[in-house]
Structure 1
Amino acid sequence: MKNWLQSVALALSLLISQAGAQTPSTPAAAGQTATAIFAGGCFWCVEADFDKVPGVLSAQSGYTGGKTANPTYQTVSAGSTGHTEAVRLTYDPRIVSYAVLLDFFWHHIDPTVKDRQFCDTGNQYRSAIYYNSPAQKAVIEASKAAILKSGVLKEIHTEIAPASTFYPAEDYHQDYYNKNPLRYKYYRLTCGRDSRVAEVWGTKN
């Protein structure tokens, strides 16, 4: 698995260069940050996972991808807004690249299912990647193609769409895994998130 990931990373770096995206030869200026938006089911879990990644400055839970203005947890969880539970990352591109964040995301979700993630079902729990620029879109499409070509996954249902308005979730959802560690750990365990990820990818995170 490690060797495969290294090969994918190399292939992606070449594709990014061809697409005209930022490469290590053109580093980000000091103090410059970038954003990335991912939806992978329960935003508590996605936020907790990305908070462990060096270079991620903040991870904010919220709602995006739908058309309803000013959604709430109640309206989104009812499944009528079109929004997903998502996480917006602010990161330092001098420390971690978008391609690395994307690869991390793939390997912490189940891309093989539609309109669900683990124990949570419904369109609001679909996995999705929301791109902020043509360069990000190119990286996403190249990454998806590389995974399918590798044969590790036979299908990917993760939505790829342009970023739209991101609505921060209520305060009690932010940093939930630290505020309510016992409830969070119980939820994550009983939902089977980590065991399913290991099954899908054939590895342990």
Structure 2
Amino acid sequence: MVVAASSYLPPYVIKDNDSGIQLEILKAAFKSQGISNIVVQYMPNKRVEQQLLQGKVDIALNFASGASTNIYQSEPLLRYQNVAISLAEQNLKIDSIYDLAGKSVLGFQNATNFLEAPFKSVTRILRSYDEVVNQEAQVDHLMKGWVDVIILERRVFLYYLEQYKQTAEIKPFVVHPIFNEAPRPAFFNSEVLKDTFNTGLGQIVESGEYQAIIRLDGTEYAQISSNELRK
């Protein structure tokens, strides 16, 4: 069974050891159903969609297009909390997506498709807007003052912030929770496989295994990764 996942999405997906919160939930759910032969292929978000639609993988994470004919959406593995983050010294008032107008913003790849509809229209009235695949660059750009605002998921930010502060100065920052929580299902090209996963997900929630996985935040995963590198 082949899973397509983003190349850069720690702590949800960690390529170096086929780990991360989302992958651990996926593996645990299938393991409860007697399935452990899972191969993870890493690729940019846009290619994840293409591979699933072409039937070259069985499961896709971070699939922006949503369910369609022959693509089946599971129950949510978890919920993302995307946020806007600025430096405190800028004293920016950002209480809604529309408050981003006129600012320089750096988002994650395909953000205009993943985030709620107003964001895509607002990007047209930003001073500048760009997207990156490797989200570590977002933290670096913000701390160096190269952009006014970065937009990314809260745990992802905490992961890269923890790593960044090992080698560079961290400036005070402000988190602006201007986006709604986003349920993150997995997407399947088999309805039977989707149903099997949903059954397994329900079982690990009931057993408490799910809660043990989800309690880890980005900071903890970054510390685990740093410790692995020092071995």
TM-score under structure 2 length normalisation: 0.26
Say which structure, 1 or 2, has more relative contact order (CA 8 Å, 6+ apart): 2
TM-score by length of 1: 0.29
